[in-house]
Structure 1
């Protein structure tokens, strides 16, 4: 399973809406759409750091880096290149 699939599965398993209502593209803002909340952001951060063996730097703790599937994948890619 690639990075994007892992992240999508994690997001889908933590939705706060009914699954049949939660259709989102790789560039949809999952927070603005109401699929997840701010508490999920902390859970997502923990998952990313543990699953991918990275530490997200303070300067990257911007909601924009966690709001879409593509932005999350870019963030992970950036940190994996730094390792």
Structure 2
């Protein structure tokens, strides 16, 4: 089993950080610290937040709905990682 397959089965804090940072750095063409506020720094805007939602849902097979859609969950790589790991640990039916 390759590393990417292992990460999909059992994502870790580090693997989710790396994957989200890779997506962001590819899209915004700059290095992103895990604790940098992406919106306050002007690196991304609210329209890009929707791209982040779609990316995270597709990359991790999660549904981001309801209260989880608040902007604060997408401000930093750390916050997005926490959201992903929390949602992966919660059955979809319980997130309705």
Length-normalised TM-score, structure 2? 0.75
Paired residue for 1:63, among 37, 62, 71? 71
Alignment RMSD (CA, Å): 1.3
**Counterparts of 2:44 and 2:36, CA distance in 1:** 12
Q: Which runs of 5+ in 1 are unaligned?
A: none
Q: What displacement does 1:24 show? A: 3.5
Q: Which residue number corresponds to residue 77 of structure 1?
A: 85
Q: Corresponding residue for 2:21?
A: 8
How many residue pairs get aligned? The number is 78
Structure 2 unaligned residues grouped into runs of 5+: 5-14, 92-96
Give the drift of 1:13: 1.5
Rg larger in 1 or in 2? 2
Q: What TM-score, normalized to structure 1?
A: 0.85
Alignment partners' CA distance in 1, 2:48 and 2:27? 8
Secondary structure at 1:45 match in 2: helix
Q: List structure 1 segments (4+ residues) > 6 angstroms apart after TM superposition.
A: none
For 2:89 and 2:18, the matched residues in 1 are separated by 19
